[in-house]
Amino acid sequence: MSSPQPAPAEPSAGNPDARLLARLRADLDAALAPRLAPGSPVALVGIPLWTNVGDHAIFLGTVRWLERHGHSLVHAVSDEADYSAKALRRSLGEGGTILLAGGGTLGDTWPRRQRFRERVLADNLELAVVQLPQSVHFDDPAAATRAAEALRAHPRLTVMARDADSAERARRLGLDPVMAPDMAFALDAIPRRTASGAGVVLLIRSDRESALTEAPDPSLEIVDWAGPEALPRRAAAQGAHAVSRRLPGSGRARAVALRRYVVHSRRRMGAGAAMLERGAAAVSDRFHAHIVCLLLGCPT
């Protein structure tokens, strides 16, 4: 199947961060392109069947990068529920590469996703695997040791780190990481609409990674984009339906489902961008809120 098509858009000439975005995209190209044979098929493991807009930005950036570089996305998996090593290998063939989704899950903050990563690696020792740009963090030494053994055991694994601290942590695991910007930087700049207000948007995490250390001022409006309220009710319901159905086994049905999911992911990304555009500037403890602000040309 061919790579799903994100909404085509060229970088906005009016974006004050256009040069920075172009440099980061070039850095990402230089890091990732040599790891994939030209035009080779890929399988993507870890598409976000959940609500966090940042993960959708990573997913859409990955899809956009593959499209731009002529790679076919022949198989996609979210997690254990729709993963089959046999189906993945059948779709990919001998000359393809498994891409493990980028993000902030290489570690023990989100242990289920880390265990799934280790399972995919153990199941596919004969295939090339690229871990797309990740943050790396472990609190439990035992979990770090187990992860190090699983990662080092794969003979054809490339690990990409999206920040210097993560690269150093990866080296402590005995790995040789490649530095690369987050996959969301592969997205095209987003034309910004006129800000709806002169104030500041406070987009603050509501999960375990929140930077808040005390109760916020009750007079301030704080929003988050990880919940269903980030989308209009009808679109949120459609997304929940898509998520509940999962992805079909393989072939044409999976291709159709993935294209539909790209549409839903773009809706969620658009809703997140709209939240950031409510004011003249934004403050956030979400990494991808800052990236989306760069794409919008919005002060953050």
**Rg for the chain, CA atoms, rounded:** 19
The pLDDT, as a whole number, for residue 235 is 52
Regarding whether 204 and 168 lie in a shared domain, the answer is no
Residue 164 lies in a domain: yes
Q: What is the pLDDT of residues 159-197, one digit of tens each?
A: 999 999 999 999 999 999 999 999 999 999 988 776 556
For residues 287 and 102, the answer to whether their CB atoms sit within 8 Å is no
pLDDT of 245: 44
Question: Angle of helix 18-32 relative to helix 287-296, nearest 10 degrees?
Answer: 120
| Integer Cα distance of 104 and 137 in angstroms | 8
pLDDT digits (tens, 9 = 90+) for 57-72: 999 999 999 999 999 9
Arithmetic mean of pLDDT, 202-206: 85
**Same-domain check for residues 37 and 182:** yes
Q: What is the three-class DSSP state of 33?
A: helix
Mark whether 162 and 28 lie in a shared domain.
yes
Give yes or no: residues 97 and 228 share one domain.
no
| Structural domain for 146, as ranges | 18-186
Say whether both 128 and 205 belong to one domain. no
pLDDT category of residue 231 using cuts at 50, 70 and 90: low
Residue 11 falls inside a structural domain: no
**Pairing label, strands 200-203, 222-223:** parallel
Residue 192 included in any domain: no
Do residue 220 and residue 166 come from a single domain? Answer: no
- 172 and 219 assigned to the same domain: no
Answer yes or no: do 163 and 233 share one domain. no
What pTM does this model have? 0.86
5 part of a folded domain: no
**Pair of tokens at residue 198:** 């002169």
Residue 1 domain flag: no
Residues 177 and 33 both lie in one domain: yes
pLDDT tens digits for range 70-86: 999 988 888 898 899 99
User: Rounded to an integer, what distance in angstroms lies between the CA atom of residue 238 and that of residue 240?
Assistant: 5
Gap between the Cα atoms of 202 and 197, Å rounded: 13
CATH number of the domain residue 29 falls in = 3.40.50
Domain end position, chosen among 160, 186, 212: 186
Mean pLDDT of the chain: 85
Q: What pLDDT does 9 receive?
A: 43
| Residues 282, 95: Cα–Cα separation, whole Å | 44
Domain boundary among 130, 154, 186: 186
Q: Are residues 141 and 25 in the same domain?
A: yes
Domain count of the fold of the chain? 2
Q: Which residues contact 90 (CB under 8 A, 6 or more apart)?
A: 250
Instruction: Check whether residue 223 and residue 179 sit in a common domain.
Output: no
Provide the token pair at 55. Answer: 């993960």
User: Same domain for 141 and 175?
Assistant: yes
Phi-psi region of 190 (alpha: psi -120 to 50; beta: other; left: phi over 0): beta
Pure H helices in the chain: 18-32, 53-68, 85-92, 111-123, 141-152, 164-172, 233-245, 252-276, 287-296
- The pLDDT of residue 58 is 97
**Based on the number of CB atoms within 10 Å of its own CB, is 21 exposed (0-12), middle (13-18) or buried (19 or more)?**
buried
Domain presence at residue 191: no
